[in-house]
Homo-oligomer: A and B are copies of this chain.
Amino acid sequence: MGNAESGIPNREGAPVMDESPFLALVRRRRSVRKFKPDPVPDEMIRSCVEAARLAPSAENVQPWRFAAVRTPELRAKLAEAAFSGIYRFTRWAEQAPVIVAVSARLDFLANRVGTHLQGTQYYLLDLGIAGEHLMLRAVELGLGGCWIGWFDAKRAAKALGTPRNERLTSLLALGFPAEDPEDLPPKKRLAIEDILKLV
Contacts and interface: CB of A to CB of B under 8 A. Distances in A.
Question: How many copies of the chain does the oligomer comprise?
Answer: 2
B137 A125 contact: no
Interface in A142-171: 142, 146-147, 149-150, 153, 160, 167, 169-170
A121 B64 CA distance: 16
Contact of A196 (B7, B49, B140, B141): B49
Given A53-B189, A131-B125, A189-B62, A10 B141 contact: yes
Interface residues of A, number: 83
A67 B199 CA distance: 7
A189 B54 contact: yes
A188 interface: yes
Given A62-B189, A65-B195, A125-B127, 17 more contacts: A8-B43, A9-B41, A10-B142, A11-B142, A18-B47, A21-B21, A23-B137, A26-B137, A58-B150, A70-B199, A74-B199, A114-B149, A120-B121, A120-B124, A120-B167, A129-B129, A160-B199
19 contacts: A7-B43, A10-B141, A18-B47, A20-B137, A20-B140, A22-B136, A23-B50, A45-B196, A56-B147, A62-B195, A66-B196, A68-B199, A69-B199, A71-B199, A114-B149, A121-B121, A125-B127, A128-B131, A132-B132
